[in-house]
Structures are given as C-alpha cells and as structure tokens.
C-alpha cells in the first residue's frame, strides 16, 4: 500500500531501503508503506456509506482501500457460496486487495493543487478513471448536467447554446489520447528531486474519450472569415480560460462527455471538457461552458502569468502548447527494490503530443548503448504506448534510461540538451530522458546521469 | 428488387446522406444577448471591459478588506494561504531566482482585470463589482509602481497602461527548432 498525504510529494529522495519482510510487497519487488490506521478507517467509512446500505454485505468495522468494499475472505472459496449478484448495488468496485491511489502535491490549499497518477502500478495503456491525475484551480464543482449549457459565440454566423443532451445527439467520435500537464516532471530540471515515478511523471494519464468534434459544432454555428482563436471557459470557481488556435480545434479538438465507457468523472470535467490531443493539460478546459471565437488570443492569466516558458535571456515563450516526445521506465523505478540479480522485464510508457510514437529504446548503461524496446499496443496519434525490454541484471550498479522517437522524427532530448536550450527557469515542458540508478543491493533511485 | 429499383433506392439514400452532411443538424438553440450577458473575457486592447471606474484609494480599501489576508498588507504574498506576491521582482527574470509577479512579469493590465473579476477573491470568486475590480486593479498596479497613486482606471485608461514586461514575451508556437541541433 502506498503512502498518501501532503507530505509525500516533495519529500527529499528517500534512500533505498531493504524490503520489509512483513509487507506483502507487490510483485515482491516494491517496498510499501502502510496507510495509517485512522486514514484507513476514514476512507473505509466514506466508501462504505453508500454501498453498505445497498448491499448489506460489507462489515463497517473492517477497512478497505478507497474504491473497494471489504468482504471477509473464506478459508476455501470452493467450500462456501460467494456473494449474490448486485451485492455491490449495481456498480462494481475494485478488489479490496488493490490499494493504489492518487497522491497529492504538498501545496498550501487543496483547492488549487494537483494529484499524481500511480504510474508504476498501471496495468495496460489506459488509466482507470478514478486514478486520472488532477489539477484544479478552485476545487471540483458539482454540476447538474440538466442545467449545464455550452455556449458558442463570438465570430460565428449564429451564436448558439447546446445542452448536454443536444451534444449527445450529435455525431460522436471515440479516441484514445493521453493528457499531460505541462508541469509534469518540473521538479527534475536542476537536480533529481521526486522520490518515485508517481511524482516525477504522474501528471500523465490516458483515457478513451467520447464526444463531439469541434468541427461538427462549428458547422452548427458557422465561422467568420477572420476567425483564428477560440477562448474556452470552464464553469468552476476559477472560471478557467485558455485561448486555443482555431486551426487546432478544427483539426482534432473534441468536446468530450465520455471517458472510458462512462460519463466523465467530476474531477475530469463532468459533464463536458475540452480535449485537445497532444496539447498541454491546462488547455483541456474542464466543466466547459463557453467557446468564444475571436481573431486574436485573449492573453488570460493562465497563458501569460502561468504556462509561459521563461528563457535564459529573461524573455518568455507564449503558447508552447504541444507536448514533446517523452518516455519513462515505470519498472524498475525509484523507490523500488530488486530482490536479487536475474532476468527482469523493464517496463515503461512513451508518448508524444506531436503524433504517434515511432520507437522506444532502452539503455541500461546511462545512455552509452541503446536497445529497441517492444511496443505492447498499437501506436495511436497523441496516445501513450506501453513498452518492455528484457534485462538480465548481473547484480552490478546500472543506470536505466528510455528514449522515445515520434513519427515526426523528434527524438526525446537528454537533460543536458534541454537545459542548454532552455536554461533552468522555464518550469514547464520538461521532457528529458529520465535516469533511474539500480544499486548493487537492488535499490532503485532517481538520479541525473 | 429489380436492378433499376435498387439503383434508385441507392441514389436516394446517397442523396439523403450527402444532404445531411451539407445541412446543419439543427441541434442547439440560438444564444440571445441576454444569454451572453453573464459572460466576459477581456482583451489586451480593452475589448470586453465593462462600464465603471475605480481609483487607487478606493482600491486600497477593497484590497485591505478582500485581498490582504491572502496576498499580504504589502502585497508581498502569504505563502501559507497560497496567495502569491503581486509586486516586486523587476530585473530578476534572467537571474537564477526569477520572481514573477504582476509587476515584474505580466504583459497586460487587461489580464489583471479579467483574472480578478473571474477568480478572486479566491474564497468568494465572482463577488466583486466592476468598480471594485477597477479600483483594486489600480491599487495593485500603483503599488507596483506601474501607474501613479492618483490614477483612475476605466475602460479607456486601463488598456493604455504600459506594463513593465510588456515586451518580454514572444510566440513560442511551432517546433522547438534548436532541439534538432541539440547534439552540437
């Protein structure tokens, strides 16, 4: 079970520790810290509230990880009848033995802060909706879809408002895409800082999104000749706004209402969010209520004060919207422990905001030599792929790296290359090669190689 | 079905289909001026600014009552409240420790009006009147030495405010060209 709580995010790098004999470590390779008893009881109480009443099967006295319900484990499941169907009230929960949760950044207020996806535990290419990373600037609003509208106006033929039901009546598309916050990995510019891959790279998640293409909406309202930009606005307390090039919206922008086969999660923008494949996460406006077509950008706070890249000369780049090619090894990764020398399967995730992933290479000698990795799933545009690469660890210290090349020929840079180009003040868009050091004792840590 | 009949049916079908694509779907309702009145977004040239005005001294009162708790008496920021410093930092942007504030970093005064009106005070968003926003905007800019202490801001004067870092930004769209020379 992973530790949660505000102190996790920016703790100094923990020295690798031996595997705790007591703990049922995942795959026998990962040290784990327990949730506090009190925290467990609290989360159990809130999880159980609804389901226990409906099902009557759970025992409130027992604890279960968030998103699960505790059931007593029989000695031999073949000698006892199991639960009747719909004991879960009609909406399934995960197993009580699955414990991964999002962790949060250590910020003064949880109303404007972020959570990290537990990437090391992710199985397959899609992030479970309940583990999708978050970034909110004014908390998570509760929105009744029956009262929510999307207004499209400005340089259009006819300004129109669309109910959620209206949008669901329109032709839809279903596409898999990642969303990555451009602040992902920002702690790693100057020195290795975050203690594990959840914190270094966990502002990245992948979902199957369903919604209406902006181009479909555009035909309903008509666009005026000089239109070039569109302001997207959310219905949260931050009334979040970003200006988006019209060209991008017309090429693949989507108003999404579905995520992984069901409605968007509230923290992902229920009932509507903007989806701009490959663009920095902040532009994928959640709780989307308005699109204002214009001939110029609005220069909102999020595209001037924030999300601009300060260069060494003191000037800053506006509208660096596209996410670069990037990859990270999720196993083995920092804070893990390899029990003994032998054959391991290096595993990781690669992605690019510029198109499909073309290839991924893995190095076990700090980038001196590279081997091609196997790509586990079909590469799709602006979508993650899973990769793996067998590795016979001889018990000597090793430095693991992965490198992504996308279909445009863009090669994921080293940290030195990136720092030479951008200096150390640009904060956003850090997509350098990540290094994990495996020590002779099997402990894995975050390093700059 | 005879070949002729089948052919006609297919023709009708394809006409129907192409007609559907050429026409609108007739989904959604027209948005009236009244529908749109509740929204705003302010451009650097002042487009979108509401009527009204505010002075620096009126802004001092608004600031003290509605902002100081989180941004500090001297606009120096209150880290524990998450409120950033709003002034200071000029001349630091190319240093090892850049201090990005409204005064040192923001390129447009319109952004301050727009952001405060939509999202501040953090705990009571959208609660300020246009006059209060003009006033507190004037106060923040005066404390940052951007406008004089006796200034009044309104829809015509606010877009004329020249921010210290107005020329500090450039369009960063497009490929990161030097990356292709990174090895050299």
Q: From CA A66, how far away is CA A115, in angstroms rounded? A: 15
Q: From CA B29, how far away is CA B45, in angstroms rounded? A: 31
* Residue B7, pLDDT score: 45
Same domain, B24 and B44: no
Same domain, B8 and B91: no
B170 CB within 8 Å of a chain A CB: yes
Which residue is associated with the tokens 């989360």?
A43
State the burial class of residue A448 (Cβ atoms within 10 Å of its Cβ: 0-12, 13-18, 19+).
middle
Buried b (16+ CB within 10 A) or exposed e, B139-156: bbbbbbebbeeebbbbbe
Q: How far is A369 from chain B (nearest CA, A)?
A: 16
How confident is the model over A39-56, as a mean pLDDT?
39
Decide if A233 and B41 are in contact by the 8 Å CB cutoff: yes
User: Checking phi first, is residue A193 left (phi over 0); if not, alpha (psi -120 to 50) or beta?
Assistant: alpha
* Residue B22, pLDDT score: 52
* Residue A211, pLDDT score: 98
Q: From CA A343, how far away is CA A259, in angstroms rounded? A: 37
A147 CB within 8 Å of a chain B CB: no
Q: Is residue B111 part of a domain?
A: yes
**Residue A173 forms beta bridges with which residues?**
A211
CATH of A135-317, one of 3.90.420.10, 3.40.190.10, 3.40.50.1780, 1.10.287.70: 3.90.420.10
Q: Which DSSP symbol is given to A44? A: H
pLDDT digits (tens, 9 = 90+) for B122-143: 999 999 999 999 999 999 999 9
B119 CB within 8 Å of a chain A CB: yes
Q: Are A222 and A158 in contact (CB under 8 A)?
A: yes
Same domain, B15 and B103: no
Is the pLDDT at B11 greater than 50, yes or no? Answer: no
Which ipTM did the prediction report? 0.88
Same domain, B97 and B149: yes
How confident is the model over B45-67, as a mean pLDDT?
98
Smallest Cα–Cα separation from A73: which of A61, A82, A84, A60?
A82
Is the pLDDT at A74 greater than 70, yes or no? Answer: yes
Length of chain B: 184
Is the pLDDT at A52 greater than 80, yes or no? Answer: no
What pTM did the predictor assign?
A: 0.88
pLDDT digits (tens, 9 = 90+) for A318-368: 999 999 999 999 999 999 999 999 999 999 999 999 999 999 999 999 999
- The total number of structural domains in chain B stands at 2
Decide if A160 and B107 are in contact by the 8 Å CB cutoff: no
Q: How far is A330 from chain B (nearest CA, A)?
A: 26
| The two structure tokens encoding residue B114 | 């727009």
B11 CB within 8 Å of a chain A CB: no
Q: Is residue B165 part of a domain?
A: no
For residues A433 and A421, the model is more confident at A433
Decide if A421 and B35 are in contact by the 8 Å CB cutoff: no
Same domain, B66 and B153: yes
CA B26 distance to own-chain centroid:
32
Is the pLDDT at A317 greater than 70, yes or no? Answer: yes
Residue ranges of the domains in chain A?
18-98, 135-317, 326-447
* Residue A62, pLDDT score: 67
Q: From CA A439, how far away is CA A396, in angstroms rounded? A: 7
Q: Are A135 and A281 in contact (CB under 8 A)?
A: yes
* 3 state DSSP class of A252: helix
A251 CB within 8 Å of a chain B CB: no
Q: In this complex, which of A109, A219, A314 lies closest to B93 when CB atoms are compared?
A: A314
Chain B residues closer than 8 Å to A6 by CB: none
How confident is the model over A23-45, as a mean pLDDT?
35
Measured between CA atoms, the residue of chain A closest to residue B125 is A237
B19 CB within 8 Å of a chain A CB: no
Measured between CA atoms, the residue of chain B closest to residue A310 is B93
A290 CB within 8 Å of a chain B CB: yes
* Residue A63, pLDDT score: 86
| The two structure tokens encoding residue B101 | 């504030």
Same domain, B156 and B96: yes
Is the pLDDT at A51 greater than 90, yes or no? Answer: no
pLDDT digits (tens, 9 = 90+) for A214-225: 999 999 999 999
Question: HSE on the CB side for A49, CA within 13 Å?
Answer: 6
Chain B residues closer than 8 Å to A418 by CB: 182
How confident is the model over A141-163, as a mean pLDDT?
98
* Residue A37, pLDDT score: 32
Same domain, B14 and B44: no
Q: From CA A425, how far away is CA A428, in angstroms rounded? A: 9
Q: How many CB atoms lie within 10 A of CB A54?
A: 15
Same domain, B1 and B83: no
Same domain, B51 and B118: yes
Q: From CA B92, how far away is CA B7, in angstroms rounded? A: 75
Q: Is residue B105 part of a domain?
A: yes
* Residue B183, pLDDT score: 53
Is the pLDDT at A16 greater than 70, yes or no? Answer: no
Place B23 in a pLDDT band, splitting at 50, 70 and 90. low
Length of chain A: 449
Q: Are strands B29-30 and A444-447 parallel, antiparallel or unpaired?
A: unpaired
Q: In this complex, which of B28, B80, B94 lies closest to A312 when CB atoms are compared?
A: B94
In the sheet where A398-406 sits, what is the strand order?
A371-372, A357-363, A398-406, A435-438, A444-447
Q: What is the CATH number of the domain that holds B124?
A: 1.10.760.10
Chain B residues closer than 8 Å to A109 by CB: 81-82
| The two structure tokens encoding residue A40 | 């467990």
Is the pLDDT at A13 greater than 60, yes or no? Answer: no
Same domain, B93 and B119: yes
Smallest Cα–Cα separation from A399: which of A445, A431, A347?
A445
Q: What is the pLDDT of chain B when averaged over all its residues?
A: 89
Q: How many CB atoms lie within 10 A of CB A345?
A: 11
Which residues 67-86 in chain B show a CB within 8 A of chain A? Answer: 79-82
Q: In this complex, which of A161, A220, A313 lies closest to B94 when CB atoms are compared?
A: A313
Same domain, B4 and B92: no
How confident is the model over A54-83, as a mean pLDDT?
81
Range of the domain at B5: 1-28
Decide if A308 and B24 are in contact by the 8 Å CB cutoff: no
Chain A residues closer than 8 Å to B79 by CB: 108
Of the listed ranges A97-106, A271-280, A307-316, B14-23, the least confidently predicted one is B14-23
pLDDT digits (tens, 9 = 90+) for A202-211: 999 999 999 9
Phi, psi of A411 (to 5 degrees): -105, 130
CATH fold for the domain made of A326-447: Immunoglobulin-like (2.60.40)
**Residue A435 forms beta bridges with which residues?**
A401, A447
A237 CB within 8 Å of a chain B CB: yes
Chain B residues closer than 8 Å to A220 by CB: 24-25, 27-28
Place B24 in a pLDDT band, splitting at 50, 70 and 90. confident
Q: From CA A145, how far away is CA B99, in angstroms rounded? A: 41
Q: Are A180 and A281 in contact (CB under 8 A)?
A: yes
Q: Are A273 and A256 in contact (CB under 8 A)?
A: yes
How confident is the model over B103-127, as a mean pLDDT?
98
Same domain, B86 and B143: yes
Buried b (16+ CB within 10 A) or exposed e, A80-105: eeeeeeebebeeebbebebbbbbbbb
* 3 state DSSP class of A231: strand
pLDDT digits (tens, 9 = 90+) for A213-252: 999 999 999 999 999 999 999 999 999 999 999 999 999 9
| The two structure tokens encoding residue A226 | 């000089």
* Residue B26, pLDDT score: 85
Is the pLDDT at B3 greater than 70, yes or no? Answer: no
Q: From CA A119, how far away is CA A132, in angstroms rounded? A: 10
A45 CB within 8 Å of a chain B CB: no
Compute and round to an integer the Cα radius of gyration of chain B.
26
Place A292 in a pLDDT band, splitting at 50, 70 and 90. very high
CB pairs under 8 A between A and B: 161
Measured between CA atoms, the residue of chain B closest to residue A151 is B31
Q: From CA A104, how far away is CA A319, in angstroms rounded? A: 27
Q: From CA B83, how far away is CA B66, in angstroms rounded? A: 12
Q: In this complex, which of A111, A166, A304 lies closest to B28 when CB atoms are compared?
A: A166
How confident is the model over B95-114, as a mean pLDDT?
98
Q: How far is residue B7 from each of residues B4, B11, B21, measured CA to CA in Å?
A: 5, 6, 21
How confident is the model over A11-36, as a mean pLDDT?
34
Angle in degrees, CA A402, A403, A406, rounded to 5 = 140
Decide if B30 and A321 are in contact by the 8 Å CB cutoff: no
Q: From CA A235, how far away is CA A237, in angstroms rounded? A: 7
Place A87 in a pLDDT band, splitting at 50, 70 and 90. confident
**Residue A326 forms beta bridges with which residues?**
A351
Q: Is residue B143 part of a domain?
A: yes
| The two structure tokens encoding residue A236 | 């949260």
Q: What percent of chain A has pLDDT over 70?
A: 86
* 3 state DSSP class of B166: coil
Buried b (16+ CB within 10 A) or exposed e, A203-236: bbbbbbbbbbbbebbbbbbebeeebebbbbbbbb
pLDDT digits (tens, 9 = 90+) for B64-84: 999 999 999 999 999 999 999
A241 CB within 8 Å of a chain B CB: yes
Question: HSE on the CB side for B182, CA within 13 Å?
Answer: 18
Decide if B179 and A301 are in contact by the 8 Å CB cutoff: no
Q: How far is A144 from chain B (nearest CA, A)?
A: 18
Measured between CA atoms, the residue of chain B closest to residue A314 is B94
Q: How far is B8 from chain A (nearest CA, A)?
A: 27
């Amino acid at each position: 079970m992973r530790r949660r709580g505000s102190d996790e995010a920016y703790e100094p790098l923990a020295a690798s520790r031996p595997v705790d004999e007591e703990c049922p470590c995942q795959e026998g390779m990962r040290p784990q810290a327990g949730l506090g008893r009190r925290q467990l009881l609290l989360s159990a109480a809130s999880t159980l509230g609804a389901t226990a009443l409906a099902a009557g099967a759970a025992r409130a006295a027992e604890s279960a990880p968030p998103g699960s319900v505790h059931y007593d484990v029989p000695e031999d499941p073949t000698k006892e009848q199991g639960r009747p169907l719909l004991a879960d009230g009609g909406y399934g929960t995960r197993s009580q033995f699955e414990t991964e949760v999002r962790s949060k950044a250590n910020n003064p207020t949880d109303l404007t802060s972020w959570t990290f996806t537990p990437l090391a535990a992710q199985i397959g290419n899609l992030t479970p909706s309940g583990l999708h990373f978050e970034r909110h600037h004014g908390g998570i609003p509760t929105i009744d879809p029956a009262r929510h509208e999307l207004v499209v106006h400005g340089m259009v033929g006819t300004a129109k408002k669309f109910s959620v039901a209206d949008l669901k009546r329109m032709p839809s598309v279903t596409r898999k895409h990642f969303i990555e916050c451009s602040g992902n990995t920002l702690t790693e510019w100057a020195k290795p800082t975050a203690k594990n891959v959840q914190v270094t790279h966990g502002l990245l998640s992948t979902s199957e999104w369903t919604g209406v293409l902006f181009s479909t909406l555009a035909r309903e309202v008509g666009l005026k000749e000089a239109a070039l930009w569109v302001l997207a606005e959310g219905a949260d307390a931050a009334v979040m706004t970003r200006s988006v090039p019209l060209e991008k919206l017309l090429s693949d922008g989507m108003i999404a209402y579905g995520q992984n086969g069901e409605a968007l999660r509230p923290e992902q923008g229920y009932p509507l969010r903007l989806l701009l494949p490959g663009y920095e996460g902040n532009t994928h406006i959640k709780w989307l209520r308005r699109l204002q077509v214009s001939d110029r950008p609005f220069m909102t706070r999020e595209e001037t004060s924030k999300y601009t890249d300060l260069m060494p000369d003191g000037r800053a780049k506006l509208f660096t919207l596209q996410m670069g090619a990037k990859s990270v090894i999720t196993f083995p990764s920092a804070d893990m422990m390899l029990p003994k020398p032998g054959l391991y399967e290096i595993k990781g995730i690669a992605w690019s905001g510029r198109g499909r992933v073309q290839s991924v290479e893995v190095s076990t000698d700090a980038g001196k030599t590279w081997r091609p990795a196997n790509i586990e799933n079909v590469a799709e545009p602006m979508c993650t792929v899973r990769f793996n690469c067998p590795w016979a660890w001889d018990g000597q210290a090793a430095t693991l790296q992965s490198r992504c090349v996308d279909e445009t020929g863009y090669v994921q840079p080293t940290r030195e290359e990136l720092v030479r180009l951008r200096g150390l003040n640009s904060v956003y868009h850090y997509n350098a090669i990540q290094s994990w050091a495996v020590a002779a004792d099997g402990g894995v840590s975050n390093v700059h190689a | 079905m005879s070949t002729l009949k089948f052919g006609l049916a297919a023709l009708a079908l394809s006409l129907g289909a192409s007609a559907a694509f050429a026409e609108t779907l007739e989904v959604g309702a027209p948005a009236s001026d009244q529908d749109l009145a509740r929204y705003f977004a302010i451009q650097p040239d002042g487009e979108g600014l509401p009527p009204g005005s505010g002075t620096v001294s009126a802004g001092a009162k608004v600031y003290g009552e509605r902002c100081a708790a989180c941004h500090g008496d001297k606009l120096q920021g209150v880290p524990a409240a998450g409120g950033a410093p709003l002034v200071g930092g000029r001349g630091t942007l190319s240093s090892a420790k850049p201090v990005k504030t409204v005064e040192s970093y923001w390129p447009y005064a319109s952004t301050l009006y727009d952001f405060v009106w939509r999202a501040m005070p953090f705990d009571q968003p959208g609660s300020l009147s246009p006059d209060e926003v003009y006033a507190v905007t004037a106060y923040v800019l005066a404390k940052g030495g951007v406008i004089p202490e006796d200034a009044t801001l309104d829809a015509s004067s606010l877009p004329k405010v020249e921010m210290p870092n107005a020329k500090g930004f450039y369009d960063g769209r497009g490929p990161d060209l030097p990356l292709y020379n990174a090895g050299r």
